[in-house]
Each structure stands twice: as C-alpha cells, then as structure tokens.
Amino acid sequence: MKRSMINATIEEAKALFAKHGFKLPPFAFWTPAEWQEKGPEVDEIRTNALGWDVTDFGADDFDNFGLLLFTIRNGNYNHPEQYPKGYAEKIMMVKENQLTPYHFHWKKREDIINRGGGELVLVLYKSTADEKLSDEPFSVSIDGVRHDCAPGETVVLKPGESICLEPYIYHKFYAQPGKGTVVVGEVSDVNDDANDNCFLEPLPRYPTLEEDEDAIHLLCNEYP
C-alpha cells in the first residue's frame, strides 16, 4: 500500500468517527516525531499493538479488499502479569463493498457491533476440524438472542445491532452497497493478530508499504 493512501484513509476515519461522536484517545493523534520522544511509559501501547492498523491483506486493492482498524485497549497473552487485561476493544471503518476476507480466531471470542452509519453484512460458516468451511449448521448470539445459522448464512447488522462470534466461526464482512460506510466496534477477548488469525486463504495480515510520502501517524506495527 502507498503511504499516501494510508494517510488519506486515516484522515477519513478520523472524520467519520468524529461525525458519529466516537472520541479517540490522545495517542491516536501522536505524530512520528512525537513517538521518537516517548519512552517506556508507553510500552503498553507498543507491546499490545494499540493504535492505527490499515491493511489491504496483500491484495493491493484497498477499496475492495481491506480494512481500517484502531485498537483502543488490549491485553497480552505473552505478558499476563505485566498486562493483565483479559479483553480488547477496536473501532473500525468499513466501506461499501470493501471486503474483509473469511477468517476465524482460535482463541478470541468477539462481539462485532454496528456503531453507526450504514449496514454491516457478515457471511458465516463454522470451521471443520481441518479449518475448511463446514456444511454443518451452528448458532450465534445476536444482541442476546440465540440465532440458528445455516452454512454460509448472511447476517445484516443495522446501527446499534451486534453479533457474538465464538472461536472457529469463519466470517467475512463488508458494508451494504448503497447504505454508506459503517463505523464498526469490536469488544473481545485479548487480540493477538500475530498468532490468532486463521484466514481461509493464506494472506498477510499487514501490508507491504510504499513510502511515497511521510506518515502522518505510525501504524501499530511501526513504533520505535
């Protein structure tokens, strides 16, 4: 991904979150120069990968295949004594027809929440033992109501609605065409993007960067 696209996407997300009244924490606005002045007092942000995360999953087609996320809080499975939080929270920007591909998590249980804007479309499957798409039915919780799902069932979340996804539930998602960009929240167990993402088709989690301009904010995997 070009750095210019990442910068523009972050600016778009900041404006979208502000429009919907979602306030980001102060470190969302630190510049690369400010990061150079930070010491061990911000190790929780560094170690637990808080902050901006923009990915095209290696496809180089961000408008159709990608996601912007901001991790607000997170624990750490590798350092539970130092970082004892057993939970994580993210806010995301999902555009119309911008696909996040099929994946599940081995450990993480997560609530996906439509915080505002358009409608979020999710397509769901249970995983087989060898991590393929299962043809077995399963169930999920949608705002506290148990919902039985057929393999490949589509669930549409309108603003205010949410779904709980257990580990080993494959999901892909995008914003409903014609309904607008969606502000998507995630409340979950500890998030570990390095070790707890199983993509149906092997994909890189982070993009390869082309530095065509200076970064306005560092990504969560770039901190000094």
Mean pLDDT computed over every residue of the chain: 97
Are 48 and 87 in contact by the 8 Å Cβ rule? The answer is no
Asked if residue 220 belongs to a domain, the reply is: no
Beta strands per DSSP E along 84-119: 88-94, 100-104, 110-117
Asked if residue 204 belongs to a domain, the reply is: no
Asked if residue 113 belongs to a domain, the reply is: yes
Instruction: For 122-147, write each residue's pLDDT tens digit.
Output: 999 999 999 999 999 999 999 999 99
Alpha helices (H) in 37-193, listed in sequence order: 43-47
Q: Report the share of the chain in percent with pLDDT over 70.
A: 100
Domain limits for position 31: 3-199
Phi, psi torsion values for 157, nearest 5 degrees: -100, 120
Helix (H) or strand (E) holding 6: helix 3-19
Asked if residue 209 belongs to a domain, the reply is: no
Asked if residue 86 belongs to a domain, the reply is: yes
Phi, psi torsion values for 7, nearest 5 degrees: -60, -45
Asked if residue 133 belongs to a domain, the reply is: yes
From CA 87, how far away is CA 110, in angstroms rounded?
10
pLDDT mean over 97-115: 97
Instruction: For 175-204, write each residue's pLDDT tens digit.
Output: 999 999 999 999 999 999 989 999 999 888
Place of tokens 């669930």: 155
Instruction: For 8-46, write each residue's pLDDT tens digit.
Output: 999 999 999 999 999 999 999 999 999 999 999 999 999
For position 92, which CATH number holds? 2.60.120.10
Q: What is the pLDDT of residue 190?
A: 98
Asked if residue 16 belongs to a domain, the reply is: yes
Instruction: For 144-178, write each residue's pLDDT tens digit.
Output: 999 999 999 999 999 999 999 999 999 999 999 99
Asked if residue 11 belongs to a domain, the reply is: yes
Instruction: For 53-78, write each residue's pLDDT tens digit.
Output: 999 998 899 999 999 999 999 999 99
Q: Report the share of the chain in percent with pLDDT over 90.
A: 95
Please tell me the number of Cα atoms within 13 Å of 172 on its side-chain side.
Answer: 17
Q: Cα–Cα–Cα angle for 207, 104, 121, nearest 5°?
A: 85
Query: Could you give the number of structural domains in the chain?
Result: 1
